[in-house]
Amino acid sequence: MNTLEDRLREALSERAQQSTISDDAWARTVARARRRRSRPSAWSRFMIPAAAAAAVIAIVVGASLLAGDRSPRGGSGPARPATASPSATPPAPPGRNDYLMRQAPPVSAVVPVRLSMDGKTTWTFVWFGYMKNARNQGIALCSVTDGDNYYGSGGCGAATVGAGKVAISDGGTGSIRLGTVIGQAASVTAVLGDGRSVPGALAFGRGFPYKVWAVAYAQENNARVVFADDGGHELGQLSFRAEYPTPSQPRSGGIVVFRYPAHVLEPTAGTMKAYLLDGRLVGVTGKVVGFWDSSSGSVIASHPASGPPAVVNMGGEIVNHAKLSEYYGYAHENVTRVVLRLPGGAEYGVQTFAAWPGSGLRLWAFTVPSGALSVKPSQEVLLGYDAAGHVVWSGR
């Protein structure tokens, strides 16, 4: 028996002995690991920080791993298909200590997909599994991408293609979009808003309930991802709006909105700052407001700051086991107070304060005990008051 066979046998024998990850461990590992108060679906996609990639080992833990399933299955590129060749060797796949592998242990082969964009190559490893403590949600598609500065980024998401549908999207990483598609699909192509076509890749392996599709293109483009059969007949398509990369945190111009203790927004204490940004950075006309915390995590408004709504809430999330939830955002200059009204009548709020001179904006932030928040956020109301105490805006 050779070394590879020894390692595979050892890994497979340990498959059933994998331990779960506690919420605390996951929160410490995943940057900005948050839970919305509405409790997200088990398929909320999460990202792996670069540090997690260091835990990847060369042995793939999969109940039905076959050596033949490790070969590349195809690829994509902006001008031509990046088809795999026998000499194109993928990096080591995620192994038994990879965080996604622990969250959703494979019940299928782990298959590498080669994609290219602007001359740069990435390898995305895909597999199917069941999320820990969420088997009733059905099977999930998981992926981990390496290469071109991804270094182990990935996530898990819904995999089931519903009745009457041809394909679904599982999100993706950076410029890569991927998901599942019915078995009749023989090709996938992204048609960009300017008419250019980008060939994609289809992958299939042992234990796959569906084919996996993947395509890489600059996300600043609107796109239609088109699926066709062997005869070139269109089976269906998915539409995607343009997305823009997160701008870098500005070196100046930040205003401290609030300081938070440990386990409110992050495992450690820190500061949240607001910045007024050029909307062109995120595909918006005019100025937009962005927020950065001490760990460089960011959230940026998707609409012009001068337009509606008059009150914008960027917070209201709950970190695992946190006792407080931070609500924060910005408002138009006629809003002097922001109040959250809960279904039972309890209210929490704060006076707004002036932001950037001449911007016509004000900032605000307040905390709410996590235990007071409703299990039905749709029943919560956010109110904006003017200086005379009149409600000038209400929403959620």
Minimum mean pLDDT range among 23-37, 74-88, 223-237: 23-37
Looking at residue 94, its pLDDT comes to 81
User: Residue 320's pLDDT band (boundaries 50, 70, 90)?
Assistant: low
Query: Residues 113-131: what's their mean pLDDT?
Result: 89
Indicate if the pLDDT at residue 336 is higher than 60.
yes
Contact 393, 342 (CB under 8 A): no
Contact 284, 304 (CB under 8 A): yes
Per-residue model confidence as pLDDT tens digits over 222-259: 899 999 999 999 999 999 887 767 788 999 999 999 99
Could you tell me which residues are beta bridge partners of residue 366?
Answer: 327
Tokens of 136: 């009733």
Q: In degrees rounded to 5, what are phi and psi of residue 53?
A: -65, -25
Looking at residue 222, its pLDDT comes to 85
Q: Compute the distance between CA of residue 42 and CA of residue 40 in angstroms, rounded to an integer.
A: 6
Looking at residue 374, its pLDDT comes to 63
Indicate if the pLDDT at residue 313 is higher than 70.
yes
Domain ranges of the chain: 3-240, 255-395
Q: Compute the distance between CA of residue 104 and CA of residue 124 in angstroms, rounded to an integer.
A: 16
Query: Residues 297-311: what's their mean pLDDT?
Result: 89
Query: Residues 281-285: what's their mean pLDDT?
Result: 77
Could you tell me which residues are beta bridge partners of residue 368?
Answer: 325
* Nearby residues of 180 by Cβ (< 8 Å), 6 or more positions away: 141, 159, 160, 161, 167, 168, 170, 209, 210, 211, 212, 213
| Average pLDDT in the chain | 75
Looking at residue 177, its pLDDT comes to 92
Amino acid in position 81? P
Picking from 29, 31, 43, 25, the residue whose alpha carbon sits closest to that of residue 246 is 31
Looking at residue 182, its pLDDT comes to 96
Indicate if the pLDDT at residue 63 is higher than 90.
no
Between 95 and 300, the more confident residue is: 300
Q: Compute the distance between CA of residue 175 and CA of residue 243 in angstroms, rounded to an integer.
A: 9
Q: Compute the distance between CA of residue 242 and CA of residue 267 in angstroms, rounded to an integer.
A: 32
Looking at residue 142, its pLDDT comes to 92
Per-residue model confidence as pLDDT tens digits over 366-380: 999 888 876 566 678
| DSSP state for residue 321 in the 8-state scheme | T
Q: Compute the distance between CA of residue 60 and CA of residue 125 in angstroms, rounded to an integer.
A: 10
Per-residue model confidence as pLDDT tens digits over 160-206: 999 999 999 987 777 899 999 999 999 999 999 888 999 999 999 99
Helix (H, G, I), strand (E, B) or coil at 137: helix
| Beta strands 176-181 and 211-216, pairing class | antiparallel
Q: Compute the distance between CA of residue 372 and CA of residue 361 in angstroms, rounded to an integer.
A: 29
Looking at residue 366, its pLDDT comes to 96
Contact 349, 296 (CB under 8 A): no
C-alpha R_g of the chain:
23
Looking at residue 3, its pLDDT comes to 39
Contact 78, 200 (CB under 8 A): no
Looking at residue 56, its pLDDT comes to 25
User: Residue 102's pLDDT band (boundaries 50, 70, 90)?
Assistant: confident
Per-residue model confidence as pLDDT tens digits over 38-48: 323 333 333 33
Indicate if the pLDDT at residue 7 is higher than 60.
no
Indicate if the pLDDT at residue 150 is higher than 90.
no
Is the link from the previous residue into 245 a cis peptide, with omega within 30 of 0?
no
- Tell me the fold of 255-395: Immunoglobulin-like (2.60.40)
Picking from 151, 47, 50, the residue whose alpha carbon sits closest to that of residue 92 is 151
| Beta strands 153-158 and 197-199, pairing class | unpaired
Looking at residue 86, its pLDDT comes to 33
